[in-house]
Amino acid sequence: MSEKGNYYKYKTKQWLIKQSYCVDYLEKLQRVFSKGQLIYVKKDLFGADILAFNKDEMIFVQVKSGEKTTGINIKKAINEFLKYPFPDFVKLWIVVWRPKEKEPEIIDVRELIEPIGGTNSE
């Protein structure tokens, strides 16, 4: 991940902590041998960068950043979340940071997929 990506993940973590969530990153580092070399690859767990929770809720968070005119791939993030059978009580957020903004835009994935019947629980 780029330095910019790590910056926005850190910024999201701090933003959630200020809102009284317990927060940690959801990545694992995999070792891959390629052409005789050992390469480390980061992989998001359950399609999320961050897990945040408090006594009332649990949120899996995918962090994105970019200009308003930049095509942030929201559909790809949604499709990653849809790979997993999250319980109904779990929130799925895409947190979008725009340059120079102090607060992120929160996209609640459940609000996008439920009207079209895209939930994993039936």
The domain locations on the chain are 3-116
Reduced DSSP (H G I as helix, E B as strand, rest coil) percent helix, strand, coil of the chain, to 5 = 25, 40, 35
Give per-residue pLDDT as tens, 57-108. 999 999 998 877 666 788 889 999 999 999 999 999 999 998 888 899 999 9
Give per-residue pLDDT as tens, 20-30. 999 999 988 88
Calpha distance 120→87 (Å, rounded): 8
The CATH architecture of the domain made up of 3-116 is 3-Layer(aba) Sandwich (3.40)
In this structure, the number of other CB atoms found within 10 A of the CB of residue 8 comes to 22
